[in-house]
Every structure is written in C-alpha cells, then in structure tokens.
C-alpha cells in the first residue's frame, strides 16, 4: 500500500513539473501579421443593437463599438458612429434606478461607465421609441445623453438611405 502512495506521489510530482514546463514555454504571444492593412478616412456607421449577446459579462457589441470608436479616433476619420438600441438590448442604456427595477437587481447599471465613455468620444446612443413605449420608459429613465428616436426600423432605414454603413449586432 505504501509503495502505491509513493508511486502516486511520484507521478503527481512529474505531472506538475511537466505541466509547469509546458506552460512556461507558451508564455509568449505569437506575432500577428496584418495581411490587409485598413484605415478609414470617413466612417458614418450605424450599429443595429437589438440583441444582447455576451462575452462573459460584457455585451459583445459594446466591445465592438469601443474598438470601432478607438480606430476611428486613431485614424482621425471624419464621420459619426450611432448605436441604435432596441429589443432585449435596450435595458443597457437605462439609468441605475430603472436598470435595477427592470433587471431585478440592486447593482445599478454596470454598463454605464462604458456607455458614458463612448458618448464622451462622440458616439451617439439612441433608444428605439417603440421599445421605450412598450416598456413604459420615459427620457428620465435613461442614462443622460441617450437620445430617443421614433423607432429603430425607421431610424436604421433613414441612416442607410443617408449613406451610413449598417453593422448588425
């Protein structure tokens, strides 16, 4: 019995050593070569944000919008980024009190810092008026700076007709 314990401990020891040496070899990130370098001089973009799809705790689309806003800023591109919230993604733009009541939590809106940062960088956030009416939300229920449009479908159509590129999230 003692022999099996020693053998087991020996195997565990070597497994730990082998795993440690393998992970130690893989600490460097591989270099990424960009084959298609791209920049924009003009970026009139509207993001149709109607579904809250998550990457961990963060709605995936917010990471995308942040990346786009950063790129447009870094390239000094002219234009406007507009995000139209509707459907099950609309609650992301609620103020703390309304967010808590709608999500049945007491944390406040965990996305307001990201959203305020986007607005500070010139990204326009809009809420679908039909979604707001359906939820009985008023302008006072929203984060400061969020605009309300007639409805998402009409607004997206208008912006596409004006030449905006639509990204569906």
State the pTM of this model. 0.80
Q: How far apart are CA 46 and CA 134, in angstroms?
A: 23
The β-bridge relationship of strands 58-59 and 54-55 is antiparallel
Q: What is the mean pLDDT of residues 20-26?
A: 50
Note the pLDDT tens digit of each residue in 28-52: 778 999 999 999 999 999 999 999 9
Note the pLDDT tens digit of each residue in 59-83: 999 999 999 999 999 999 999 999 9
Domains and CATH numbers, the chain: 45-168 (3.40.1260.10)
Residues with Cβ within 8 Å of residue 70, at least 6 apart in sequence: none
Note the pLDDT tens digit of each residue in 95-117: 999 999 999 999 999 999 999 99
pLDDT of residue 25: 53
Q: What is the mean pLDDT of residues 145-149?
A: 98
Q: Are 169 and 47 in contact (CB under 8 A)?
A: yes
Neighbours of 158 (CB within 10 A): 13
Residue 10 has pLDDT above 60, yes or no: no
């Amino acid at each position: 019995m003692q022999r099996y314990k020693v053998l087991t401990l020996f195997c565990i020891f070597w497994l730990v050593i082998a795993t440690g040496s393998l992970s130690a070899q893989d600490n460097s990130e591989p270099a990424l070569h960009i084959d298609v370098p791209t920049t924009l001089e003009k970026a009139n973009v509207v993001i149709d944000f109607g579904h809250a799809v998550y990457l961990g705790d963060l709605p995936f689309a917010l990471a995308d919008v942040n990346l786009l806003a950063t790129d447009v800023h870094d390239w000094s591109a002219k234009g406007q980024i507009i995000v139209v919230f509707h459907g099950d993604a609309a609650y992301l733009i609620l103020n703390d009190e309304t967010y808590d009541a709608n999500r049945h939590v007491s944390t406040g809106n965990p996305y307001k810092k990201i959203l305020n940062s986007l607005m500070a960088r010139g990204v326009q956030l809009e809420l679908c008026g039909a979604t707001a009416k359906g939820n009985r939300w008023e302008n006072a229920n929203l984060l400061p700076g969020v605009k309300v449009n007639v409805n998402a479908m009409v607004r997206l159509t208008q912006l596409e007709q004006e030449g905006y590129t639509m990204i569906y999230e």
